[in-house]
Amino acid sequence: MNQPAPKKGETDIWPLVQEDLRERVKLGLTRYGVVLQTNNGRDALLDAYEEALDLVMYLRQLIEERETSSGNSPTIHAWRNRG
What angle (nearest 5°) sits at the alpha carbon of residue 43, between those of residues 53 and 60? 5
**Residue 68, pLDDT score:** 85
Q: Count the neighbouring beta carbons within 10 Å of the beta carbon of residue 62.
A: 10
- pLDDT (0 to 100) of residue 5: 94
Specify whether the CB–CB gap between 66 and 73 falls below 8 A.
no
* Model pLDDT for residues 7-38, shown as the tens digit of each residue: 999 999 999 999 999 999 999 999 999 999 99
